[in-house]
Amino acid sequence: MNKYIKFLEKIFNDSFCDNFELIKINYKTLKIITPFKDSSNDLIQFFIQFDNEKIKITDDGYITHYFDVKNLDISIIERITKNYNLKFNSNEIYALIDLSKNDLISEKISNLIQIMILLSNIDIY
């Protein structure tokens, strides 16, 4: 697991992600705080969980909670996640990445951030 955490730290430190903050929760989980804000002016954050050769990127229920608080129709989340090649299980938006198949982690992270920004602003439209 440590090699993947170090790999992700390198990605976030060496690339366009200068303003991202990585917090190691435990040896299997990283919390990523982005410089992007939601409609409440809170910084968007997500989690990366490691399990052998698989990585799960998740909003940890952030958007579902937001929709509950705003009393918005949760079915919107499911419809929109399909367009971003992400999954929704009625609680969280997530992507599973198989490292043995060279899945593009940066694409999945980008898609998750984009969908979190979009959905956290949906009540404004």
Task: Give one word for 30, left, alpha or beta, with left for phi > 0 and alpha for psi -120 to 50.
Answer: beta
| CA 28 – CA 97 distance, rounded (Å) | 14
Give the three-class secondary structure for 113.
helix
Which one, of 11, 100, 6, 9, lies nearest residue 53 by Cα? 100
| CA 12 – CA 52 distance, rounded (Å) | 21
pLDDT tens for residues 47-65?
A: 999 888 789 999 999 999 9
pLDDT grade, residue 105 (50/70/90)?
A: confident
Mean pLDDT for 69-80 is 91
Q: What's the pTM value of the predicted model, to 2 decimals?
A: 0.84
Is pLDDT at 100 greater than 60 in this prediction?
yes
